[in-house]
Amino acid sequence: MAGIAALVLVWRVIAGQGRQGRDVAAARARQVLSAVGFEPTGGALTTPEGEHERAWALERARPGPTGRRLAAGEGGALRWRVVFQGGGEVGLTEDGLLWSLRRPLPTDPGPSLYRPHAGRRLEQTLPRLVPDPEAWALDEVQTWDEEGTIWYRGRFLGGTGSLPQGWRREAEVEVAGSTLVGFLRRVQPLGIDLGVVQGRSRELELLRAPALVGLGLIVLAMLVTGVTSDVRHRPVAWAAGAAIAVAIGAAGAVAGEPVASWGGQALMVGVLMALLPPELRGGRCGWGWGAWAGLGAAAIALAGRFLVSGMGGFVPASPFLPPETGAWYLAATAWLPALVEEPVLRGALPALARPLLGWWGAALLSVPVGALLHPLPAVPLAATVGLEVVVQLVLVGVAWRGGAIGAVAARGVLESTLRRPGFPAGWPWDLAVLAGLVVGVVCLTAWRRR
């Protein structure tokens, strides 16, 4: 019962999360194309698009819900692209604003416009494409002849609109003959707003380098220890090592990483887990404990973001947008860092340094290394690193109770929950998140029964 209750609780937490508007995008796209005189046929393929850096820049410029609304609306940072099988495609923001449009060129696009009047005719198409046509002004018109049809492209400037000061809206309208065939909106951000986000991202990328140096040193030290252990005929848990290596291989393959990358990681972590002393490796109870602790860590991470925002800082609220959006991709990318990093930080490092520093001393050494690996860009930069430190401390606590396996479970659940909003709303993605939890809850129940 406790397990089922936990599952229901988690499902309630993540239900409704994810990128909104997917279910209505196809209908809205059909409506838009109909309005320009084209009836799309066949099924619609809806895929997410967007730029999280622009979304974060908008949040930075307009703190709070206003920035998030702009990112999903006029900022155009979070969008859907709907492509119809019979031709025609439409881009929509998450709020349903028309962002782009392209319809097939009809065999008879109608009589060409009288060139001196082309600008006026292009302006007359605008009310069908933007909600505030009065705010837009025609900047320039291009015309060209293509296979007997005259094409017209009008470039409009829309001022700032509801965007922050210094931002600029642009749009292009394309007409062939007298048929509207294309429309595209663009946003030119204020350099300073985007620069803060880009600069912080690059700085965090640089700060990641010493953490990777730390990870490399731990792996080398464990390699030397492993050789000496093997020579001295100490017990080696090949089954545990093989199991985690297979899990990493599967996650890496699904995440689309190069074979050399996930193969090397699987080999490295598999060997580490095989060599870890049993008390540091953890067991079945670790999975259950870890799953619950992972939820707690996710709650702390989210609460920390609110705290930083409340204190006048900036931490992105809009999600990081992954390059792919499959449900299995979510599961794989969430569990891969858990399976690779946690055995090194929470298993190998305490195993190596425990004789010198004691378990807690050794485990706390992993905190600065882990905290520099995946922080989000923030203002001030210390805020995001501080948040990561808190999460790492939670993971250290999990490892103390449930070993490296427990930390893997906690990290997997944490990553799944935090990454969920970057993927579309819907049951396949919810299921991918819950799959990790199911493993933990089932193991916890089994452990209690034992």
Partner 1 sequence: MSDRVAPALKVLRRLGPVAVAMAVVVAARQPHPGEEATQPASGAATLAASAASPWLEPGPVRGWQRVASGWMLRFQPDHGAWLLDVWVPEAGGHPSWRLEVAQWLPGARLSSEAASAWLGVTPVAAREQLGRRDWSGAGWALVGSLPAGGRLPRSGGASSGELRAVLAGLLLAGATARRLERRLSDPVWLGLVGVAAVGMAGLAPAVFPLGGRLLAAEIRPAVAGLAWWAGVAMLMGGILFAAITCPTARGLKPARLLPWAFVLGLAAASAAPVVWVAELASVAAPIPALAVAAVLGGWLAGLAGDGLGALAASLGPARVPLLIAAAVAAVLVGGPLLGPSLAVVAVAAGGREGGAWLGLAVVAGVLVGSLAVVCVWPEVQWGAWAALVGGLGATMLAAWAAEARRVQSGG
Residues that bind partner 1 (CB under 8 A): 188-189, 191-192, 194-195, 198-199, 202-203, 206-207, 209-211, 213-214, 217, 220-221, 223-225, 227-228, 231, 352-353, 356, 365, 368-369, 372, 381
**Shortest spacing between CB 403 and partner 1, in angstroms:** 22
Dihedral pair phi/psi, residue 143, rounded to 5°: -135, 150
Are residues 445 and 343 in contact, defined by beta-carbon separation less than 8 angstroms?
no
Cα–Cα dist 256/329, whole Å? 8
Residue type, 359: W
* Beta-ladder partners of 221: none
Class of residue 169 by CB neighbours under 10 A (exposed 0-12, middle 13-18, buried 19+): buried
Helix (H, G, I), strand (E, B) or coil at 89: strand
Minimum CB distance to partner 1 smaller for 143 or for 198 = 198
DSSP 97: -
**Shortest spacing between CB 228 and partner 1, in angstroms:** 5
- List all residues 6 or more positions away from 251 whose beta carbon is below 8 Å from its beta carbon: 262, 331, 332, 333, 335, 336, 339
Cα–Cα dist 149/178, whole Å? 10
Minimum CB distance to partner 1 smaller for 276 or for 332 = 276
Dihedral pair phi/psi, residue 110, rounded to 5°: 90, 170
Minimum CB distance to partner 1 smaller for 388 or for 430 = 388
Cα–Cα dist 322/51, whole Å? 10
Minimum CB distance to partner 1 smaller for 77 or for 211 = 211
Are residues 75 and 187 in contact, defined by beta-carbon separation less than 8 angstroms?
yes
Minimum CB distance to partner 1 smaller for 45 or for 382 = 382
Q: Residue 443 corresponds to which tokens in the numbers above?
A: 């193991």
Minimum CB distance to partner 1 smaller for 53 or for 342 = 53
137-146 and 179-188 strand pairing: unpaired
**Shortest spacing between CB 102 and partner 1, in angstroms:** 22
**Shortest spacing between CB 345 and partner 1, in angstroms:** 13
Cα–Cα dist 406/409, whole Å? 5
Minimum CB distance to partner 1 smaller for 231 or for 239 = 231
Minimum CB distance to partner 1 smaller for 226 or for 294 = 226
CA torsion through residues 110, 115, 116, 119, sign: positive
Minimum CB distance to partner 1 smaller for 206 or for 246 = 206
**Shortest spacing between CB 312 and partner 1, in angstroms:** 20
**Shortest spacing between CB 377 and partner 1, in angstroms:** 12
Q: Which is nearest to 346 in space by CA: 298, 386, 299, 293?
A: 293
**Shortest spacing between CB 203 and partner 1, in angstroms:** 4
**Shortest spacing between CB 196 and partner 1, in angstroms:** 9
**Shortest spacing between CB 355 and partner 1, in angstroms:** 8
